[in-house]
Every structure is written in structure tokens, then in C-alpha cells.
Chain A
Amino acid sequence: MMLLDVKNLKTYFYSKRGVLRAVDNVSIGVDRREFISIVGESGCGKSTLAYSIIRLVDTPGKIVDGKIVFDGRDLVKLSEEEMRRLRGKEIGMVFQDPMTSLDPLEKIGDQIVETIIEHERVDKKEAWEKASILLEKVGLPGDRVNYYPHQLSGGQRQRVMIALAVSLNPKLLIADEPTTALDVIVQEKIMDLLEDMKKEDRAIILITHDFALAADRSDKIAVMYAGWLIEFGKANKLANEPLHPYSEGLIGSVPDVWEDRDIKPMLGFLPDLIDPPKGCRFKPRCPKAMDVCDKEPPTFSVDGRVVKCWLYGENNG
């Protein structure tokens, strides 16, 4: 059984302008100890997918349909209290901006301790000891428990966020663009640390708009476009021979991974998710568009990968 099995998930935002289909019929499976990256341009629904999994989608967003089976339970059906007990304990989350993700008024130690005692019956003293051990595990001196967030750098704070996220030993760690707000030098170290967290029998979902980073670190890559999951498969395969024209474009616009290729920045913009193009949502930007693309492409299985594109219809569909 998979650790996480998202099936036909639909998360929509009911805004004044209309219904915004941020996550539209997305299915994705994550095995235990697997490192999966979700990539795509900003605004394609990556964060909404992540927040849907822990059921903290911002208003006016709502999970409209689908299943999120985690460790045998459908999270969509859990009560709010059951969900609260699961957050932090079984699924940990690391956020994009470490500068704003910690409470400025509480000591690092207090924030870790509060998290621990919300879930486990331990006394405060024990929890404090655990807090400094956790900090050491993420490469910070244990005495940083007595520091306030503003006394730490961005990289150090992101280490604290990781310590917080794994403080209850969750089976799944979701990191939403954990290095985007950091210096390049720090980015590598945080990514190393994140990969380290995999050792403890833990699956990781990394959300990033950086395809090179995803290709470099993960077992599998899922590519999202305009609320759709358009390709999902083994990282090395997807990086070397992308199937979907959008995946191809994404790789083409990454200069430093495949030096022999020219940089081909993708033309056009992400469509409006309230009023997306009919048929394939990538069609306005697709160099390989055909007549059939006016209909929504189904998801085809090709060589152990899934791809949502009519190009793979004849042989498999």
C-alpha cells in the first residue's frame, strides 16, 4: 500500500470573479521513503495541492472532490480534530519563507516544545531536552533553543523549520519551495539536510519551480500545469526524455543542467485558471498542438510514466 495516494483531487477557489480550478483532477501516489518533486511554474497549483493534503487550504478554497488516502485513511473524510492530531505528527510541513514562518514572540525552544506536547504526553523538561537534540540533528547548536527567531539567519531559521517539521517523526515531509527565499550557498545545505531527513524512514514531497533541483534530488518528478498534473514518472527518465511538450519546454528553459542545449525560454503565460482554454490547457503555448487538442486529453500510461497529452493517445489510449 502506498503511503499517500491522491486520487482525482479537485481543489477550487470560489473567488468573486468565478471558480478558480487550482487543482483539477490530480492523482499522484507517494511510496514510503520516496522523494518526490512537484514542479511547475508559479501559480500552477503546487502549493494548493500541498495545503490540500494537510487540509489547510486558504479561504475561499475548498476540496471539492477526490480522495487523499494517507496510510490507509482518506484525509478528506477525517474530522477537524482527527486532522489536527495528524498534522505535525504524521505529516510535517516546511514553508517557503523561514523569515515569516516562525512566531517572532516565542523562543525557538518554546515553539518546538509546544508542538511536541500538543501531540505527546511528555513533561516540559523532557520536551526541552528533545528540542535541543532536534536542533543538533538539523545542524544547529542545541543552545539555540533559547534564541528568538530574529536572532537567527534565514538559513538557520529554515533549519529550525525542518526541526519543527520532523519533531514528531512524521512519515511524510512536505517542503513547499524551502530554498526559494534563501541565498544560493545556503540553498544547497538546506537541500542536503532535507535529503538527510529521508533516512529516517520518511517520504518527502518537494515543491519547487526549479526543474534542475528536482532532477538532481528526487526519485520521481510530477509536473503540474494550470492545475493539471501533466506528467509523472521517474526523475532521470523524465529529465532525459520528457514526454509532455510542457515538460520538454521546462527542461529547455533550464540552462545549467544540460549544457549542450540552447536556452529556449518558453513562450506565453500560464492561462487564467478561472477561464482556462478549452481542451488542453497547454494548447495556446504548445508547439505540437493538433486538432484533437481542442478536447481535454486523458491521462495515458507510457513506459511507467503518466502523461496527459494527445500525442500519446494513438499507441496507448
Chain B
Amino acid sequence: MASLKAYIVTRALLVIPTVLILLTVVFFILRILPGDPIAAMVGQKVPPEVVEKLREEAGLNKPLIVQYFEYLFNILRGDFGKSMIWGKRPVIDEIMLRFPATLELTIFGFTLSVLIGVITGAIAAFRRGSKIDSSMRIYSIVAYTLFIPWFGMLLQMLCGVYLKLLPIGGRITPGSEPTTITSLYVLDSLLTLNFNALIDSLSHIFLPALVLGIVLSGAYTRLLRNNLIDVLSQDFIVAYRARGVRERKVVKHAMKNAFIPVITLMGLQFAILLAGAVLTETTFSWPGMGTFLLERIQYRDYTSVQGAIVFYALFVALISLIVDIVYALLDPRIRY
């Protein structure tokens, strides 16, 4: 197990250069984009002297390289800075306000995608060559290529507008929020046994999570199907059967083996999941990091955008670290 610890430490240390590179790229891309936060905020009818003064206050008149290193230094100290507009609130506060919504959506979307992918993939593998198998193959391709805003709006039309079954936007009906414990509404509703809030928050999260889940499930469907077919043809499966192990248990072993590469895909897909979450959030007016990010990009709120991106990067790094640990725990060939 000592090697596992060393592995985790290395993995964690690797996050630092990754975040640094990302930060640098984001910093300069934002500066290359036309427009700046002051112009976006004040419009064009303000006298140039005022604009100049505002720029100075925001530190935007310093040489770019100085701004860059100042920013870097602050981030390394854990200081995300203050928003350049909107009352100069600390960026970290704004992020913490939005993050639970994104976390909740990604947890649900992620769980649904793996669940759908594993079930459809397993069905396809056990019915290899049948019509069901072909339909699952088509499903995986279609799901993979669905455009989130389009698919989201389709479901909004169908379930929200047409069937009037589900709300089409927001996290919860205003006023029904559960007592805050984790800021994850579904979890808080459960913890406080607030069933109204539970139903309400579940009905809000269902459609966006389903959109995210379906779009991301395609890759799992394909991977699990192919892995399972491969594993089922391996010698050790026949060997299990030849020892009289019950078919139910043989299938369990096969699934476990087929699932290992799926774990790797989970780590790889997590960044895509977050990107998908940004689109899903805007489509469903979900008050998370994604809507926050897009809004602040429009206003060229440099510090907020940078802060959000760094936060996303750390989130991805943390998840892929967890995925690696789970992987190592499940696969002894990695562990020893």
C-alpha cells in the first residue's frame, strides 16, 4: 500500500502545474478578447477621465506581466480576489454561493450517465448480435452526438410546456428551500425530513440531470458493452463455470472486470461532464457555476472568470484523483 500513497502524492503534486498552465492560458485569453470590464460596465457615454480612473482603481493600467504575477501570487495564497464589478464581492464567496447547485447537478447527471450506460451496455452485451444490441449501439451514438441546449429544450417543451409534468427551470420553487446544511437541496431536504422540498427539488433537478445523464451515457454504453463481451469470452469465465460457480456469480465477476476501464473513463469524462453542465445550467436557468461563468465572461469580469476556471480545474483534479484511488482499490494489478 506504500506505493499507493506515493502514487497519490505524485498525482496530487501534478495538479499544481496543470492549474498553473490553465490559469496562464485563461489570463491571457481574457486579455486578448476585445473589451474590458470597465467598458462593459460603464458603456460608451462616460468621459474618458472617469474610465481611466476606474481602470486605475481596478489595477488594469499596470503592465500585463505585473498583473499576471500579482494574480498568480494571490491565487497561490488562496486569494481569488474580488469581482471587478457587482460591488466588488470576494470571488470565492460568489463561487461558494453557486457551487452547491453545480455539484448537485453534476452528481445527479454523473450517476444517471453511469447507471444508464452500464445498464444499456450490459443488456447489449448479453444480447450480442440481436436487435436490442443494434438499438443500444444506435442509442450510444445518438446520445453522444446530442446537442445539450437543443435536447434540453426538446424535453422542456415535452415535459414542461406540453405535458406540464415538470418545472422547466430553476433549482427549487422560491420559498420552498430546505434548511441549509450542505446547500445541496435534495440532501438537505432528506436530512431535515422536509418532503415538500424533496419532491420540489427532485422535480427541478430531474430534467437537467437527465439531459446531462443521457448525453454522457453513450460513451459508457459502448465501453461497457465491448468490455463485457470481451470479458465474457475470457478463459477465467469458462474456468469459473467449469468449477460449478453459479451463473449469477459468474456474471458478477464479469461485470466487475468489465467495469474497471469504465472507471478510467469516468475520470476522463469528468471535464466533459462539467462542460456539459455549463450548457445544461444555461438551458435550465440553473443557478450554478456555469451560468455564473457565462454571465461574467460577458462582463469581462476577469477575476471572477479566472476564479471560476481555477475552481473548475481544482474540482476536476480532485475528482480524477478520487477516481484513480477507486481504480487502484478495485484493481490489484495497479495497487501492488
| Chain A residues packing against B (C-beta within 8 Å) | 54, 56, 84-89, 92-93, 95, 97, 100-107, 114-115, 118-119, 148, 150-151, 161, 164-165, 167
Contacts and interface: CB of A to CB of B under 8 A. Distances in A.
Given A86-B244, A88-B244, A118-B244, A93 B330 contact: no
Contact of A106 (B238, B243, B244, B253): B253
A216 B331 CA distance: 42
A70 to B, nearest CB: 14
B229 to A, nearest CB: 13
B143 to A, nearest CB: 29
Contacts of A86: 244
Nearest to A85: B244
A87 B243 contact: yes
A93 B245 CA distance: 13
B332 interface: yes
Nearest to A84: B244
B330 A105 contact: yes
A95 B245 contact: no
B236 A115 contact: no
Given A104-B257, A105-B330, A119 B244 contact: yes
Interface of B: 234-236, 238-247, 249, 253, 256-257, 260, 330-333, 336
A101 B243 CA distance: 12
Nearest to B234: A100
A93 B246 CA distance: 16
B246 A97 contact: no
Given A100-B234, A103-B236, A106-B253, A87 B332 contact: no
Given A89-B244, A105-B253, A115-B244, A148 B239 contact: no
A87 B333 contact: no
B236 A101 contact: yes
A150 B244 contact: no
Contact of A115 (B234, B238, B243, B333): B243
Given A106-B253, A115-B243, A151 B236 contact: no
Contact of A95 (B235, B246, B253, B336): B235
Given A103-B253, A105-B253, A105-B257, A88 B332 contact: no
Contacts of B238: 56, 95
A89 B246 CA distance: 13
A307 B325 CA distance: 62
B239 A104 contact: no
Contacts of A97: 235
Contacts of B333: 104, 148, 150
A103 B240 contact: yes
Contact of A105 (B240, B247, B331): B331
Contacts of A148: 332-333, 336
A102 B236 contact: yes
Given A104-B236, A105-B332, 5 more contacts: A84-B246, A95-B238, A102-B239, A103-B236, A151-B336
18 contacts: A56-B242, A84-B241, A84-B244, A84-B247, A88-B244, A92-B243, A95-B238, A101-B239, A104-B236, A104-B332, A104-B333, A105-B256, A118-B244, A118-B246, A119-B244, A148-B333, A161-B239, A164-B243
